[in-house]
Structure 1
């Protein structure tokens, strides 16, 4: 009797949320470095549309959700895990990222973040605890946080090797989460 053919391993899909909306930002370069880690066993894709989200307002949190919100929720739902990146803005995460996480934390009983493995990295000269803020916010949204081995990247230290090492370690932690 012929043996069944082995099934290919399913690719783990990580969605990268970048809290920087500026095209040339260091955080955006880190996001692209993460996407470059895409491989046979681990698909890494960059979330789109954070710049299209309205400011969170419960009056707008309707069914159906605003189009940009629905699109981002679908991206998160289709991912197995999240790599969340943010510049350090005034000792915390960016307003754009916080707004996206506020939208993604709804509906409260069926959030696309609930139970989703997530890890965060912040980029700044001095983090002032922004990495702790990011982890606290992710936990509050219901995400299952996995600490990044290197949660803070200095813009001065974002040469290729350091960034590659940081995102590779973060993605590996997510892949095994």
Structure 2
């Protein structure tokens, strides 16, 4: 019997690339397109709508794009965070989104949220470690992805949704997020 949408594990995918045709965006769409029994995967709002983080703007009510993203994260059971490698780290757009999502400090939508990340680049230069460090600093509960780095040369252009390396890496990352928490009794 299929699960009702209310009982499905919902994972929100954050793509740190703003370019529509970017490999990172293609990987995000591939994650959404895959069939994940018992697991609903949805793409987060576009990050280019967020203002640059500024504590003067961190007010109640929050800027509309910030409030919308915070609501999406709050309603998700977990996060799959994707970023291109930019100068040996994650993208500025993703870092900005994570800065907004880490607030308010005492009630952040990231606090305790299971999250894993994948970086996409020819050489990661440790960007996957930066992503995990930033996620932990925001209060997210991180789980390392089995394949934390995807080389864009391995991606078959506009056929990313069917690319075996991409689908395998995404499926493995999602499986780590959907796995039962060993600290929680059954």
Q: Does 1:57 align with 2:60?
A: no
Shift, 1:158, TM fit: 1.9
Instruction: Point out the more displaced range, 8-17 or 21-30.
Output: 8-17
Equivalent residue number for residue 106 of structure 2: 109
SS at 1:120 equivalent: strand
Q: Distance in 2 between the 1:81 and 1:71 partners?
A: 17
Determine which of 66, 69, 72 is the counterpart of 2:66.
Answer: 69
Aligned residues: 172
Q: What are the residue-to-residue correspondences of 1:144-159 with 2, within 5 Å? A: 144-159=141-156
Which sections of structure 2, spanning at least 5 residues, go unmatched? 157-162, 182-186
Q: Distance in 2 between the 1:99 and 1:149 partners?
A: 26
Shift, 1:21, TM fit: 0.6
Shift, 1:157, TM fit: 1.1
Q: Distance in 2 between the 1:129 and 1:40 partners?
A: 32
C-alpha contact (below 8 Å) 1:49/1:68 kept by paired residues = no
Which sections of structure 1, spanning at least 5 residues, go unmatched? 1-5
Q: Distance in 2 between the 1:8 and 1:44 partners?
A: 14
Equivalent residue number for residue 173 of structure 2: 170
Q: Distance in 2 between the 1:170 and 1:39 partners?
A: 12
Determine which of 109, 133, 136 is the counterpart of 2:133.
Answer: 136
With the length of structure 2 as denominator, give the TM-score of the two structures. 0.89
Equivalent residue number for residue 80 of structure 1: 77
Q: Deviations over 1:4-24 (max 9, x none)?
A: xx9946100000000001000
SS at 1:100 equivalent: helix
With the length of structure 1 as denominator, give the TM-score of the two structures. 0.94
Shift, 1:26, TM fit: 0.3
C-alpha contact (below 8 Å) 1:93/1:133 kept by paired residues = yes
CA RMSD of aligned residues (A): 1.3
Give the greater-gyration-radius structure (CA).
1
